[in-house]
Amino acid sequence: MPVPTTTKLRLTGHVVTMDAACKQVPNGVIYIDGTNIVAVQDAKAPPPDGFASVPAVDTGGIIFPGLIELHNHLSYNTLRTWRVPAKFANRGQWPRHPEYSQLVTGPMGVLGRSTDPSVLAALVRYVEAKCLVAGVTTSQGIALASNAGIRHYYKGIVRNVESPDDPAFPKAGSHIPDLAASEWKKFDNELVKAKAKASCMLLHLSEGIDQSARNHFLALESGDTWAINSALAGIHCAALEAPDFEIMAQHGGSMVWSPLSNYLLYGDTAKVHLALEHKVPVALGSDWSPTGSKNLLGELKVAKLANDQLGTKLSDADIVALVTRNAAAIVKWDKWLGSIEPGKRADLTVVAGKVSDPHGSLIRARERDVLAVLIRGTPRYGDQKLMKALGATGESLIVGGQAKLADFNDPLGDPDVDKIPLADAISILKDVLARIPNLETHERLGRGALHRPLAASAPPRARLLLEEPEGEQPDHRTRHAFFGAGVASPVAAPAGASLAAKLPLIPLQLDALTVDDDPDFRTMLGQQQNLPAWLSQGLQSVLSQN
């Protein structure tokens, strides 16, 4: 029976709290009032006051806290996986490869300069849906710049760590470029302020495996002072050694691990076992679709395979903590998210699986196994039958052969995005990406918008503020010297990565919404030359399982 219109919900299932004790309630009930969890208890216990008349809805699955991702470049997640043409040593190299410009920065530059509101709205709708169908309830934002030059982050259904819609949540900062020496003091001041506000600063740090990548960490020191404190979360940290993790631990820093992206580009990843030995907190992020997992469910699988191969000694519960309890603590949202406890926000992810192995079930889960996603106590996505039982309405879609329903309606959301159904967003993006070469020519000649708008409207209020603009510098993340050194990190490309040629843009395909519905994804991974054999074979195995 559908739940009556009410702010209260009563969900049953196998509850995995992911609190400090990692409790499980096998025949559990979660009582939700509005945006908050009121109680978590055994189904045989009497309901809390006010819930006696609220019907129980059986999820039929394993209920986890909503999945939290602390590293993604969402704007780029319309692009398909790049078959990386060489092994690189640091992030100053691969953005200079002509194929990268042809397949990533060039097309995104065309989209980013669009004056058509339907293109931006379609992109935002699509990449947010990509998170939602994988059980992600919190990620990073899409940068926008208004016509007046005001920068803000898109607020949508999925929570955004850079621009939280809940006034209780501290706003996280993010910094992608390596900093110039002259910026060291400014950055250190930002960190001090962030710590005072009990917030987080996400910094791309030592992305790569050579000494120049490590130098970006070493240059965090100026004199006897390290620009590291409990607010700093270093993304990647792939070049860090044991002494570096010791310093991170001493100053309270943390890290965000993106193993698939590291392996695709560099053939290696961060020494997570050293981070854990020094008790540096670790979270997980899928990075982006061009050189990473399609979503956080994929990155969980890579983390599991890497853990087993490298002897990191994380249990399955520890791996799930990377995207729940640990991530919430790193971003300083653990008072409200990261575990299922009374008083916390009702962000939940429900998956099908074996209750005898709940954590392993989440790690193995495919997108089709996501039964429900609740954000702020509102059912946003899941199996059609379950969503209707929860009183939800929305847009129907098929994922891995399963009938799903997504509710994108948000009265407080961006009006341009809110009016575009996912199906229309897919149609617009497929059309635009297929016409990228012509659109670049038209743009160069000043011949109008990228795509005919859905309806006549006023000039767009915002445009994409891309992280990697086309121009003199192929990647603004490499244009700065590492602070303290006064010289830029080496950007010489490896063999086969000529910097002279500039390849013309070509028609592109939209990246599929899910791995379940992307028959080419497993093939593309099998063609990646930098993946170690154990990882390539392991991914082929887990992605071929029914």
Q: Which domains does the chain have, with CATH numbers?
A: 8-66+339-409 (2.30.40.10)
Rounded Cα distance between 252 and 201, Å, is 13
The DSSP H or E segment spanning 160 is strand 159-160
Sheet with 151-153, edge to edge strand ranges: 151-153, 143-146, 462-464
Rounded Cα distance between 132 and 128, Å, is 6
pLDDT at 472: 33
The DSSP H or E segment spanning 8 is strand 8-16
Mean pLDDT by 10 residues, the chain (546 residues): 61 97 96 97 96 97 98 94 97 94 92 83 93 96 60 75 90 76 85 95 95 94 94 97 98 98 98 97 97 97 97 95 98 98 98 98 98 97 97 96 95 78 96 91 56 45 60 33 33 46 91 96 95 96 85
pLDDT at 201: 95
The answer to whether the CB of 69 falls within 8 A of the CB of 138 is yes
Residue whose entry in the numeric block shows the structure tokens 């398909």: 80
Residue whose entry in the numeric block shows the structure tokens 């209750």: 355
- Name which of 514, 519, 511 is nearest 430 in CA terms: 511
Strands annotated E in 360-484:
370-375, 378-383, 395-399, 402-406, 462-464
Rounded Cα distance between 9 and 324, Å, is 22
Letter for the amino acid at 257?
Answer: W
Tokens of 95: 């953005």
- 129 burial via Cβ count (<10 Å: 0-12, 13-18, 19+): buried
Query: Looking at the chain, how many residues does it have?
Result: 546
pLDDT at 343: 97
What three-state secondary structure class fits 60?
strand
Tokens of 40: 């978590």
- Name which of 342, 493, 443, 262 is nearest 32 in CA terms: 342
Tokens of 19: 């609190």
Looking only at the bridges linking them, the beta strands covering 159-160 and 254-257 are: unpaired
pLDDT at 221: 93
Rounded Cα distance between 511 and 515, Å, is 10
- Name which of 116, 135, 167, 134 is nearest 66 in CA terms: 135
The terminus-to-terminus CA distance of the chain in angstroms comes to 31
- 464 burial via Cβ count (<10 Å: 0-12, 13-18, 19+): buried
pLDDT at 146: 60
Strands annotated E in 24-76:
24-33, 36-42, 57-65, 67-68
Residue whose entry in the numeric block shows the structure tokens 């399963």: 402
Rounded Cα distance between 229 and 509, Å, is 43
Give alpha helix (H) positions in 342-435: 358-364, 384-389, 415-418, 422-434
To 5 degrees, how large is the angle CA 227–CA 203–CA 222? 20
Rounded Cα distance between 256 and 327, Å, is 9
- 14 burial via Cβ count (<10 Å: 0-12, 13-18, 19+): buried
How many Cβ atoms sit within 10 Å of the Cβ of residue 309?
Answer: 12
- Name which of 9, 6, 11 is nearest 41 in CA terms: 11
